[in-house]
Amino acid sequence: MSNPTTAASSGAAQLPTLRKAVVVGGNRIPFARTGGAYAHSSNQDMLTAALDGLVARFGLAGEEIGEVAAGAVLKHSRDFNLTREAVLGSALAATTPAYDLQQACATGLETVLGLSNKIKLGQIDSAIAGGVDSASDAPIAVSEGLRAILLDLNRAKTTGQKLKILSRIRPKDLSPDAPSTGEPRTGLSMGEHQALTTAQWKISREAQDELALASHKNLAAAYGRNFFDDLVTPFRGLSKDSNLRGDSTLEKLASLKPVFGKSLGAAATMTAGNSTPLTDGASTVLLASEEWAAARDLPILADVVDGEAAAVDFVHGKDGLLMAPAFAVPRLLARNGLTLADIDYFEIHEAFAGTVLSTLAAWEDEEFGKTRLGLDGAFGTVDRSKLNVNGSSLAAGHPFAATGGRLVATLAKMLHERGQVDGRPARGLISVCAAGGQGVVAILEAR
């Protein structure tokens, strides 16, 4: 395995001077718990709704956008051109190119980074990044056995051949194959993986419940002061994230039974309250060059400064499945000559409360800093008053590919409102973990 320090030391000094990519704004639909308000809405419906709202908010009807990129983690094969189809169904000019991207839960953030890079390079002047996911309208495939038989059947020429092939069908072939959040290489669900990591870092049940409660309180407060008015467009009668429980209490959270890591016995701490539920939703972010935004008299909320991806070797337990951001953030900050103390807002995606807390614990751990990050000691401490201050996935829910867009638009607006800190633009860090042991992180700065 490569030593993370090599990446950290490959300095930013050689980077050519690029023009800036800025966040103009965002739009998402409220996130809904699976089987709820969007139970019958397809990915296409939701992505189109998020896009429609963005087009309306920024007067983009008839505009040819440089490129649109979005994706879905749970995707029907018929939706191979999901994003392009959503563009064609929108008021954007039909000459707007689009592509689908998939990097599990990091999909949304990766679309922002990829498109920002194209803007910085001058390849495009404007872009829409986004993501959508429906756990309600998930694709269900025929079993592998039946699939093989049907494909053979398609190739058969004579009736005799066809009958012979059909006779191979067994009852077990008829049970459908539904998607799961299990890791193909370990057979463990994401929650079971995190339960191991949570136990490894000795994260207490109370600490997880407190983080979950803060997420609900912060998100409710943000809705209360109308923070999301220009970030969210109602859909299907929903105007707030349906998972939000602003009146939750530590007592209520403490009363829930563990759902993950039950084999750990007394060490089982992860409940439905401190884990994100399956969620449906979609988000979009409008990115641009400064010139493009200025020419249209559009706001500029933040610069997309830099991004970094990392992956961990989780398969045999060297690192936790969702711990890649613990490596990506130190590399990203080092490249930009920053430390945790230089960050004013942390948006650390709450896949599980345990994920956030394990990451923070790793950064505070001297041993981890020395042996895994190649530093002199611990990486540092995150000031908890700067963490997920407007709530995060535990409260809002987490429609996999849509979370990146939610984070970027939310953080960009927070940074813009904050403006300057100590004579420099307010700075925010986004961290998203993803299936397959991956993570994508990014830095945004206020405008």
Min CB(93)–other proteins separation in Å: 6
C-beta separation of 156 from 410 below 8 A: no
**Cβ proximity to other proteins, 95 vs 420, nearer residue:** 95
216 labelled catalytic: no
**Cβ proximity to other proteins, 86 vs 109, nearer residue:** 86
**Cβ proximity to other proteins, 236 vs 240, nearer residue:** 236
Min CB(88)–other proteins separation in Å: 6
Phi first, then psi: give them for residue 380, nearest 5 degrees: 150, 180
433 labelled catalytic: yes
Residues that bind other proteins (CB under 8 A): 40-42, 44-45, 48-49, 52, 55, 61-62, 86, 88-91, 93-94, 234-237
**Cβ proximity to other proteins, 41 vs 355, nearer residue:** 41
398 labelled catalytic: yes
**Cβ proximity to other proteins, 29 vs 302, nearer residue:** 29
Min CB(44)–other proteins separation in Å: 5
**Cβ proximity to other proteins, 81 vs 381, nearer residue:** 81
Q: Which of 193, 216, 398, 416 is catalytic?
A: 398
Min CB(90)–other proteins separation in Å: 6
Q: Which of 193, 216, 416, 433 is catalytic?
A: 433
Min CB(127)–other proteins separation in Å: 19
Min CB(77)–other proteins separation in Å: 16
**Cβ proximity to other proteins, 51 vs 351, nearer residue:** 51
Three-class SS of the chain? CCCHHHHHHCCHHHCCCCCCEEEEEEEECCCEECCCCCCCCCHHHHHHHHHHHHHHHCCCCCCCCCEEEECCCCCCHHHCCHHHHHHHCCCCCCCCCEEECCECECHHHHHHHHHHHHHHCCCCCEEEEEEEECCCCCCCECCHHHHHHHHHHHHCCCHHHHHHHHCCCCHHHHCCECCCCECCCCCCEHHHHHHHHHHHCCCCHHHHHHHHHHHHHHHHHHHHCCHHHHCECCECCECCCCCCCCCCCHHHHHCCCEEECHHHHHHCCEECCCECCEEEEEEEEEEEEHHHHHHCCCCCCEEEEEEEEEECCCCCCCCCCCCHHHHHHHHHHHHCCCCHHHCCEEEECCCEHHHHHHHHHHHHCHHHHHHCCCCCCCCCCCCHHHECCCCCHHHHCECHHHHHHHHHHHHHHHHHHHCEECCEECEEEEEEEECCCEEEEEEEEEC
Min CB(229)–other proteins separation in Å: 17
Q: Which of 105, 193, 349, 416 is catalytic?
A: 105
Active site residues: 105, 398, 433
